[in-house]
């Protein structure tokens, strides 16, 4: 099975709290990582990405942390809002058989309680 | 913003029918992809294309074929639809091989 995975399949937070969604990967040669958000009935939407020469990248209310030592990726959402409720996927750009491909995790469902 | 447009949002077909799913992107991207998404299985790559008239098999190509006659258009074909092909189908494009994918809204296909 896929080794891009998640520590928790679901996460429930209170509105205004910070959310942390985790992802593990197994290929130490992977050099590019992406987080996607998918709302019900819609296609995945790009949130933020990070390359392996960085360990942190910030966007608007979101931060991605990359720990290459333990092959761990996390997405932090500050001041979580009801509109953040969705499934979040990590993706890993993995070299495989002479080519590269994006491998997606199964997703974490984030629920924001008012 | 990149726009990836899938021709149908919902589609209902009968077993044995030939089904065409169309996808168009408007940002001159080289690469296009077809995935299917099923509960508990995540996103699985069916076929992809890095250039016009070029196609490569993904992880689950059986029962599918693709066509890329023009750079902006990538079609997924189910030669003879079966009930196990009931799924959400997602098209995506990217500018380069190590860059993010932009996804369409998806086509929910039901094969009866």
If phi over 0 gives left and psi between -120 and 50 gives alpha, with beta otherwise, what is residue B71?
A: alpha
Number of structural domains, chain A? Answer: 1
Instruction: Point out the residue among B4, B43, B105 whose CB comes nearest to the CB of A104.
Output: B43
The answer, for B42 touching chain A at a CB cutoff of 8 Å, is: yes
Q: Give the side-chain half-sphere CA count within 13 A for B35.
A: 24
Which chain B residue is nearest to residue A104, measuring alpha carbons? Answer: B43
CATH number for B48:
2.60.40.10
Cβ-contact A106, B45 below 8 angstroms: no
**Residues B71-110: tens digit of each pLDDT:** 999 999 999 999 999 999 999 999 988 889 999 999 999 9
Kindly give the parts of chain A with pLDDT less than 70. 1-8, 96-99
Q: In which domain, by residue range, is A19 found? A: 10-113
- A 10 A CB-CB count for A4 gives 25
What is chain A's mean pLDDT, rounded?
A: 89
Is residue A76 in a domain? yes
Per the CB < 8 Å rule, is A45 touching B40?
A: no
Per the CB < 8 Å rule, is B43 touching A93?
A: no
What would the DSSP string read from start to end of B55-68? -EE-S--TTEEEEE
Per the CB < 8 Å rule, is A46 touching B102?
A: yes
Is residue A18 in a domain? yes
Is residue A83 in a domain? yes
What would the DSSP string read from start to end of B85-107? G-EEEEEEEESSTTS--EE---E
**Residues B1-20: tens digit of each pLDDT:** 669 999 899 999 999 999 99
């Amino acid at each position: 099975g896929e080794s891009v995975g998640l520590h928790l399949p679901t996460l429930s937070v209170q509105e205004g709290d910070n959310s942390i969604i985790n992802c593990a990967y197994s290929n130490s040669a992977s050099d590019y990582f992406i987080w996607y958000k998918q709302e019900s009935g819609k296609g995945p939407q790009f949130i933020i990405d990070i390359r392996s020469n960085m360990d942190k990248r910030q966007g608007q209310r979101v931060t991605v942390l990359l720990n290459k030592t333990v092959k761990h990726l996390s997405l932090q959402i500050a001041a979580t809002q009801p509109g953040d409720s969705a499934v979040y996927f990590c993706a890993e750009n993995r070299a495989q058989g002479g080519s590269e491909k994006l491998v997606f995790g199964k997703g974490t469902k984030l629920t924001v309680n008012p | 913003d990149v726009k990836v447009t899938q021709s149908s949002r919902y589609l209902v077909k009968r077993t044995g029918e030939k089904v065409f799913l169309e996808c168009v992107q408007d940002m001159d991207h080289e690469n296009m992809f077809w995935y299917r998404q099923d509960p508990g299985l995540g996103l699985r790559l069916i076929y992809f294309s890095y250039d016009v008239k070029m196609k490569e098999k993904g992880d689950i190509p059986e029962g599918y074929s693709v066509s890329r006659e023009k750079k902006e258009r990538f079609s997924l074909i189910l030669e003879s639809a079966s009930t196990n092909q009931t799924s959400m189908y997602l098209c995506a494009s990217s500018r380069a091989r190590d860059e993010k994918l932009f996804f369409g809204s998806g086509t929910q296909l039901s094969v009866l």
